[in-house]
Amino acid sequence: MKRAPAPTVLALSALLLAGCAAVGPNFERPAPPADTAYVATPEPAGAPAPALGEGPSLRWWEAFGSAKLDALVDRAIAGNQSLAASNATLERAREHLAAVAGGRLPQVDASANASRQEVNLASFGFDPSSFGITGGNPIFNLYSVGGGVSYDLDLFGGKKREQERAAAQAEAQLHETEAAHLTIAGRVVNQALTIAAIRARIDTANDVIADAGRYLDLTRARQRAGKGNSVDVLQAQSRLAAGQATLPPLQQQLAEARNMLAILLGVAPTELGATDFAMGDFTLPADVPVTLPSALVHKRPDILQAEADLHAATAGVGVATAKLYPDITLGASLTQSSPGIGSILDEGFRAFDIFAGVTAPIFHGGTLKAEKRAAEADTRAAAATYRQTVIEAFGQVANLLGALDTDARGVAAQQDAASTAQRSRDLSQRAYEVGSGTVLQVLDADQALQQARATLVDARARQLLNVARLYVATAGGWTGPAQVANAAD
Sequential pLDDT tens for the chain (489 residues): 344 444 443 344 444 444 457 999 999 999 988 877 887 554 555 568 888 888 898 899 999 999 999 999 999 999 999 999 999 999 999 999 999 999 999 999 999 999 988 888 777 777 777 777 776 777 888 899 999 999 999 999 999 999 999 999 999 999 999 999 999 999 999 999 999 999 999 998 898 888 888 888 888 887 887 777 888 788 888 888 988 999 999 999 999 999 999 999 999 999 998 888 999 999 999 888 898 898 999 999 999 999 999 999 999 999 999 999 999 999 999 999 888 888 888 888 889 999 999 999 999 999 999 999 999 999 999 999 999 999 999 999 999 999 988 999 999 999 999 999 999 988 988 887 777 777 778 778 888 888 898 899 999 999 999 999 999 999 887 654 344 444 444
Is pTM, for the whole model, over 0.85?
Answer: no
Ranges for all domains in the chain classified under CATH 2.20.200.10: 108-153+326-360
> Is the domain defined by 108-153+326-360 classed in CATH 2.20.200.10?
yes
The 3 state secondary structure assigned to the chain is CCCCCHHHHHHHHHHHHHHHCCCCCCCCCCCCCCCCCCCCCCCCCCCCEEEEECCCCCCHHHHHCCHHHHHHHHHHHHHCHHHHHHHHHHHHHHHHHHHHHHCCCCEEEEEEEEEEEECCHHHHCCCHHHHCCCCCCCEEEEEEEEEEEEEECCCCCHHHHHHHHHHHHHHHHHHHHHHHHHHHHHHHHHHHHHHHHHHHHHHHHHHHHHHHHHHHHHHHHHHHCCCCCHHHHHHHHHHHHHHHHCHHHHHHHHHHHHHHHHHHHCCCHHHCCCCCCCHHHCCCCCEEEEECHHHHCCCCHHHHHHHHHHHHHHHHHHHHHHCCCCEEEEEEEEEEEECCHHHCCCHHHEEEEEEEEEECCCCCCCHHHHHHHHHHHHHHHHHHHHHHHHHHHHHHHHHHHHHHHHHHHHHHHHHHHHHHHHHHHHHHHHHHHCCCCCHHHHHHHHHHHHHHHHHHHHHHHHHHHHHHHHHHHHCCCCCCCCCCCCCCC
> If one looks up domain 27-104+157-324+366-474 in CATH, what number appears?
1.20.1600.10
Ranges for all domains in the chain classified under CATH 1.20.1600.10: 27-104+157-324+366-474
